[in-house]
Structure formats: C-alpha cells, structure tokens
Amino acid sequence: MSASLQPTLVEVFDTTLRDGSQREGISYSVEDKLRIARKLDDLGVMFIEGGWPGSNPKDAAFFERVRSEKFKTAKLVAFGATRRAKLKPQDDPSVQALVAAGTEVCSIFGKSSTLQALEVLRITLEENLAIIEDTVAYLRSQGKRVIYDAEHFFDGYDADPVYALKTLAAAQKGGAESLVLCDTNGGHLPWQVEAIVKAVCAHFGPSQRIGIHAHDDTGCGVANSMAAIRAGATHVQGTINGYGERCGNANLCVIIPNIELKLGMRALPAGALPHLHEIARFVAEVANLAPDEHMAYVGNSAFAHKGGVHVAAMQRHPDAYQHIDPVKVGNAMRVVVSELSGRANIVEKASQLGLTGLDDATGAKVVELIKAKENEGYSYEAAEASVMLLVRRLTANFQPLFTLVDYRATVSRHGDSHLAQATIKLNIGQHEVHTAAEGNGPVNAFDQALRKALEPLFPQVADIQLLDYKVRILDSSKGTRAVTRVLIDWHDGKEHYWSTVGASTNILDATWLALADGYEFILSPQPSKPEAKA
C-alpha cells in the first residue's frame, strides 16, 4: 500500500494512571502503576499519562521509578497545570515538577472559558491567555513536547466561541503540538461535540492536530469521542475500562476497536488489537474491581448467545448475531445455557465442553431438564461445570464418581464460642466411606468432610481451592422459606477454573449439590478438562 493510501492514524493517549485513578475506590500503588504502564506499552498506545508529579508524593515516586523503564512504543507523559497567575513558570513549583519528572512529553491544562478565568482564577481574560502561552513556551524551552488540554472547552465555546478559540491560539503560539478539547463536565452530546470540533478544525487548518478528551456524565463518552474523530480530531484521550472521576472517562476499550474496525483508521500497531481483552481484565484485576462482563468488545458477555434462535442461526453462519469476529479483540464466542435454550444451545455447549456427537433425543432431554431445573431455582449461565455433568448424566453408560448416602450437619453455640460439624456417607465405587469434620461454619465443615472422603482415592483434592461462594435468595417475599441458590467458583491450583450451582429451600442441601458437582467435575474422567481462564 502506498503512503498516500495508509489509514489515518489517531493518536491514543491513555490516562488510566492519572484521570482513571480518580475513580472512587481506586488507589494504585507505585508498583501497580508500573505494571499497568508496561501493559499499556505492550498494547501499543502512543502516550501514557503517568500522573501529576506536582500534586502528591506517590506520583513523584512513580516518575522517579519509571526512569529506568524502557518502553517500546509509548511515550510517558507528566501532567500538570499552567503557571499560577502571580508566578513566572520558572518560579512555579508545579511547573518545575513537570520539568523534574524527566519525561519527553508534558500535558498541561488551562482555562478555556470566560467563566473559569474570571470567576475561578479571578484574573482578566488577557492574563489567562498570557498564562497559557508562556507556560507552554517555557516547557518547550526546556526541551519538552507539550500536549495542551483545553479544560472546559465545550462549555467555554458555548458561552464565547471567540475567546475559547483565542485560548487554543495562545497554546499553539507557545508551541503545543496538540490542542485537546476537553468536555470536562461531561455534559455535551455527540452532535454538539461534532459541530464544535468541526469548527475548530476548520479554524486551525489541517496542520494543527486537534484532540478530544470526553467524560461519561451523559453516558456519551465513547459516542462523543467518535463524533470528534469523525469531525477531524486525530488525538483521543481516555482510560482502560472507562475508569475515571464521577461517571468515568471515555472508554478506550470501546473507542480503539471502533476506530480500527468501524472507521477503518489506525489506533494501535499492527497485530495489537487482539490483546485488548487481556489488558481490560488485567487493569480491572490490578484496580481490584470486578470486570464489567457486559462491556462492548471486551466483556465476557459481549459475544455470549443465550436465545435458542440465535444459537441455531450462529451454527449456520457465524455472522448471524455478531457484528465482528470476537477474535479480533481477543475475545471469544460463548453459548449460554438457560431456560431460554433450544437444542442448538445444548449441542453447541456440549461440543465446547468436549462432548461431541450428542444425539437429538439426549439433547431434547437436556433442554427439558434445564428448563425444569431453572424453574426450581437453578441458573446455569455461570455454572458450566454443572451443565457438563447434567449432560453427561443423561448419556449412555454414565457412572457417577460417587453417590451420596446421607449427610448431617450440626451447628452449636455456647456464649461467644460456636462449632459446626458435618458428617457425610458416600459410596465411591465399591467402597462406602463415612467421614466427619469440623469447620468455622456448616459450609466449611461440609467441604472438609467431603475432602476427607475423597482425598485417599484422589490425592489431587488437596490442591483444589474454593475461590468464591455466592448465595442468592430467590423470591424473597417467602422470607426464610425461599429457595436459595448457591454458586461456587473453583480452581485446581494450576490453570483450570470452573463453576457449579445448587438450589434448594434448604441452604445446606443447595451447598451440598454445588460442592458435589465441583469435585465430581474435575475428578471424573472426561473428554476434556475445563478451559484455562482468560
């Protein structure tokens, strides 16, 4: 392809470590920030905004530590503000912190609206223009590349478009390479953003790079970013998973594939897009937040198919109910089994789990059984191991690993002390095994008794871990008589993860069902082990 036919490059400016860290509940350590920065570099974003070195010791320490890092693709960016009104740039500690950070690129914000200049900074409009220009010029004189963030630009443009453009011109005159229009309050809508960005691009011409920094306060952070790019912006700022203050920043996990797969432009180096799913989950894990499984492109439900009609159509053509091939963003198509399932769901799910050649009669039985079970309170959407066992139990020549003869649990309390005990009697092959155990509660006692029964014959039980135990009360209007659903997440201590479900009006019986499925699934001979977790 000739140079003239190369797709337009949109610079991706990631601010997960700075703006993203302002989300309630996120507090990155210096080591966390270093780990995320390395992953962002692996992804291939052009800029990584590491923090505000003049605002807190942690960010200053980060920039000190990151000097020894060698990034392959990304440029590290230090963030700060324009100088204070009464100080020269060389005398302003915040500006000097930007210089001391040692990054090639700096990003500074300044005021774009008359309201912000007059009422917040309490300076004249001309003083504001001078502050912007000479701060940028000073940083340029120190050998820095400067990206200028025009704070409150869209609100400022609405109030006084002539003055808002003058603030951008001041940054341009100082030597800023990119002029980034910030919807700081997040209150604008896509058609408003598109019209204003188009006007700014026309005003400055094609030689000046224009950028967009959107927030999600109207739920339009991604849409506003896409509208700006359509209008001529070639620099986009956002965060992984849309983390950020208030309602969050524009979500790069959606913006990036939209740029590449929908607009036909380029945002990442060739071959990098399939790593998007991985980095979305990595950042969520480091932030100690549950991934949004319904997020576009990278959520685990983004390409999950539940309706029987959908799955049947997907078996005929993979594009029937998917707008892209999920592999392009590192994701995968999944079939969900529920009371809405048809035979196609069961056949496809069984195939994914290693059971091929499921006949029509067995498939129909499984569908009816799942519908009956879900009516009783089961939910199989997040319990693929229980689905696997349900299918296998209806196939010819199935032999259970063990069968329950009986169990008993007791819980006692005396003063401040309490004790839980469980006894279980199992048939394992030709053996009848009877064990008892104590625990810090009945569930723990159940698990310990079951392990004691199984471990002599299956030593790998010692490595099996219960990662999560969730309880949900169904039809709460029935109070303590309601059905209880138990979902357990498991790990074998190596690479495999699986989930099981049980339901009953008796919480201990629901727990037993989920526990028994969990051990039987991983210990039984089967066509394939559970898939490695993404």
Nearest to 254 by CA among 287, 214, 285: 214
Per-residue pLDDT tens digits for 403-413: 889 999 898 88
Residue 45 has pLDDT above 90, yes or no: yes
Residue extent(s) of CATH 3.20.20.70 domains in the chain:
11-287
Fold that domain 403-523 belongs to in CATH:
Double Stranded RNA Binding Domain (3.30.160)
Over residues 207-211, the mean pLDDT reads 98
Q: What is the pLDDT of residue 44?
A: 97
Q: What is the pLDDT of residue 360?
A: 62
Q: What is the pLDDT of residue 528?
A: 43
Residue 423 has pLDDT above 90, yes or no: yes
Residue extent(s) of CATH 3.30.160.270 domains in the chain:
403-523
Which amino acid, 314?
M
Residue 496 has pLDDT above 90, yes or no: no
Nearest to 246 by CA among 192, 196, 187, 289: 187
Residue 128 has pLDDT above 80, yes or no: yes
CB of 106 within 8 A of CB of 145? yes
- List of E strands, 8-152: 11-14, 47-51, 75-81, 105-111, 145-151
How distant, in Å, are the alpha carbons of 9, 128, 131, 376 from that of 124? Answer: 38, 6, 11, 70
Is residue 488 very low, low, confident or very high in pLDDT (cuts 50, 70, 90)?
Answer: confident
Q: What is the mean pLDDT of the chain?
A: 86
How distant, in Å, are the alpha carbons of 282, 324, 339, 444 from that of 320? Answer: 30, 10, 22, 46
CA separation for the pair 347, 366 (Å, rounded): 10
Is residue 385 very low, low, confident or very high in pLDDT (cuts 50, 70, 90)?
Answer: confident
CA separation for the pair 25, 377 (Å, rounded): 33
Q: What is the pLDDT of residue 40?
A: 97
CB of 84 within 8 A of CB of 132? no
* Cα angle: 443, vertex 500, 422; to 5 degrees: 20
CA separation for the pair 16, 258 (Å, rounded): 19
Per-residue pLDDT tens digits for 29-39: 999 999 999 99
Q: What is the pLDDT of residue 382?
A: 57
Averaging pLDDT over each range in 435-439, 487-491, 508-512, which range is the top one? 435-439
- Candidate from 40-44, 67-71, 108-112, 468-472 with smallest mean pLDDT: 468-472
Residue 311 has pLDDT above 90, yes or no: no
Tokens of 396: 């010819």
Residue 345 has pLDDT above 80, yes or no: no
CB of 12 within 8 A of CB of 47? yes
Which amino acid, 211?
G
Residue 339 has pLDDT above 90, yes or no: no
Q: What is the pLDDT of residue 85?
A: 92
Q: How far apart are the first and last CA of the chain?
A: 35
Nearest to 40 by CA among 332, 268, 367, 303: 268
Nearest to 442 by CA among 526, 529, 509: 509
**Residue-level length of the chain:** 534
How distant, in Å, are the alpha carbons of 58, 77, 520, 523, 529 from that of 526? Answer: 51, 52, 10, 9, 7
Helix/strand/coil for 454: helix
Per-residue pLDDT tens digits for 241-295: 999 999 999 999 999 999 999 999 999 999 999 999 999 988 988 888 888 989 9
Residue 7 has pLDDT above 50, yes or no: yes
Sign of the Cα torsion 74, 78, 83, 89 reads: negative
The residue that leads in pLDDT, 352 or 149, is 149
DSSP 332: -
CA separation for the pair 259, 268 (Å, rounded): 10
Per the CATH hierarchy, to which homologous superfamily does domain 11-287 belong?
A: Aldolase class I (3.20.20.70)
- List of E strands, 200-278: 209-214, 235-238
Helix/strand/coil for 265: coil
